[in-house]
Amino acid sequence: MSAVVAGASAPVATTTRRPRGGLFRAILRNRKAVVGAALLLLFILLAAFPGLFVPSAHHDPQAIGDLPLQHPSGSHWLGTTGLGQDVYAQLIYSTRESLVIAVVAGLGATILSVIIGVSAAYLGGFADDGLSMLTDIFLVLPTFPLIIVLATYAGKGNLTVIIIVLILTGWSYGARQMRAQALSLRNRDFLESARVRGERSSYIIVVEVLPTMISLIVANFLGAALYSVLTAAGLQFLGLGDPNSLSWGTMLYWAQNQGALVNGLPAWALSPGLAVALLGVSFALLNYAFDEISNPALRPVRRRRARSAS
């Protein structure tokens, strides 16, 4: 079964345990990580204190104004919607829901992949066969169509449903990676000694195995969050979200619905998409940086390798 994703980007197991603080310093030294982290920090600020970034006249982003379909101007930086709402205010206030979807769904999917992947590796035998089979099946099922089917049946617009569906469809890739790494750890000495000490399996998994997998887990969370951002925005864009909610996908839905592009208002149609893209980019940059940190072979090497290759 393993052939399905064998090595699609097989993680190289980090064999040494990193000293505390090493991960943090490694992030600071990686340019991609710094850019990604800065972007993410900005979005967290926007989500936490949207009022700080919006002129006080537009503190209610849903307020219906009397100037619909305005071009960007001094009073409406990105113009107005078909109902005269301020696009810029909507954009800033939408950060929160979009970020929450990404983080919650990303966390949920990661937790599920850790549980399934690690227990498959640790239990072995029949349980492993069953869990691996389940993982492989979810891996090849086309997720976005499945999400659309689920969201349609479950009633459109329910945020909880969207998040649960994102988790259910987003865990399989990570579970496969977790299983691979946990397998490579399984027969290490420090685990053997814990077993000899008579520790329970649950203790060994939580205290001994998981800490060594931290960088893979973080990378996984970032990947799952990226997937959730893009997928949720796509769902909402198609009108399968709550049309009254404040999120980038919903903004895009209304922009498309009210013909923003045809009416010559590209700022309205493009800015929420740009926000989705930037949040996605920040996750992707961090994810890639973590790959480099946990797999030294991928780090940019400037002089030595370049010479030997030519």
Partner 1 sequence: MRYLIRRLGFFVLTLWAAMTLNFFIPRMMPGSPEQALRERFSKGGSVVTPEQLRTVLAEFGFDPGKNLMLQYLEYLKSMVTGHWGVSIGSSLGAPVTSLIGSALPWTLGLVGIATVLAFVLGTLIGTVAGWRRGGLIDGIVPPVFIVTSALPYFWVALLLISLFAIGSNPILPNDFNYDQGLTPGFSGEFIWSVVKHGILPASTILVTAVGGWILTMRNNMVTTLAEDYVRMARAKGIPGRKIMFGYAGRNAFLPNLSGFAMSLGFVISGTILVEYVFNYPGLGYMFYNATVSTDYPLLQALFLLVTLAVLICVLLCDFAVFLLDPRARTKG
153 is an interface residue for partner 1 by CB under 8 A? yes
**Residue 7 contacts partner 1 per CB under 8 A:** yes
Q: Yes or no: say if 279 and 272 are a contact pair by the CB < 8 Å rule.
A: no
x/- track of binding to partner 1 for residues 198-237 (CB under 8 A): ----------------------------x---x--xx--x
Residues 267-286 that bind partner 1 (CB under 8 A): 269-270, 273-274, 276-277, 280-281, 283-285
- Cβ count within 10 A of residue 198: 7
Minimum CB distance to partner 1 smaller for 125 or for 142: 142
* Helix boundaries (H) for the chain: 22-29, 31-48, 87-123, 125-140, 143-153, 159-170, 172-185, 189-196, 201-203, 210-212, 214-237, 248-257, 266-294, 303-309
CA distance 255 to 164: 27
| Residues 149-177 as b or e (16 or more Cβ within 10 Å = b) | ebbeeeebbebebbbebbbbbbbbbbbbb
266 binds partner 1 (CB under 8 A): yes
277 token code pair: 């893209």
In whole angstroms, the minimum distance from the beta carbon of 129 to partner 1 comes to: 12
Alpha-carbon distances, residue 180 vs 123, 185, 218 (angstroms): 13, 9, 16
Distances (CA, A) of 54 to 46, 82, 233, 255, 269: 10, 20, 23, 20, 19
Query: Does 140 engage in binding with partner 1 (CB under 8 A)?
Result: yes
Binding mask 244-263 toward partner 1 (x if CB under 8 A, else -) reads: --------x---x----xx-
Closest distance of CB 304 from partner 1, Å = 9
Answer yes or no whether residue 86 interacts with partner 1 by CB under 8 A.
no
Nearer to partner 1, 48 or 261 (CB): 261
The label of the residue with tokens 């989500």 reads 47
154 belongs to the binding site for partner 1 (CB under 8 A): yes
Name which of 168 and 191 has its Cβ closer to partner 1: 168
Asked if 37 touches partner 1 (CB under 8 A), the answer is: no
Binding site for partner 1 (CB under 8 A): 1, 3-10, 12, 32, 133, 136-137, 139-146, 148-155, 226, 230, 233-234, 237-240, 252, 256, 261-262, 264, 266, 269-270, 273-274, 276-277, 280-281, 283-285, 288, 291, 297-298, 300-303, 305-306, 309-310
